[in-house]
Amino acid sequence: ASPSGGAVGPRGQALPWALALLALRGAAGVPPSFVLLLADDLGFGDLGSYGHPSSATPHLDRM
């Protein structure tokens, strides 16, 4: 929130976008060095690579 307690102004909205674009510009053509996976209610035993008998996860297993 802004100091006046109102909504974020145009500058406040533009800054995150500008930073993201600058980061992307520098990373063009460079492969990612990490992958972030987010999953809801996923336990370590729910993947095929950890031995789940009926969940095939070949793409995750290759990582």
How does pLDDT run across 47-61, given as a tens digit for each residue? 888 888 888 888 878
Domain ranges of the chain: 10-62
* Cα–Cα distance measured from residue 55 to residue 47, given in angstroms and rounded to the nearest whole number: 6
Length in residues, the chain: 63
The whole-model pTM stands at 0.35
Indicate if the pLDDT at residue 10 is higher than 70.
Answer: yes
How does pLDDT run across 12-29, given as a tens digit for each residue? 788 888 888 887 776 567
Structure tokens given for 13: 């909205």
Q: Are 46 and 52 in contact (CB under 8 A)?
A: yes
* Cα–Cα distance measured from residue 57 to residue 2, given in angstroms and rounded to the nearest whole number: 45
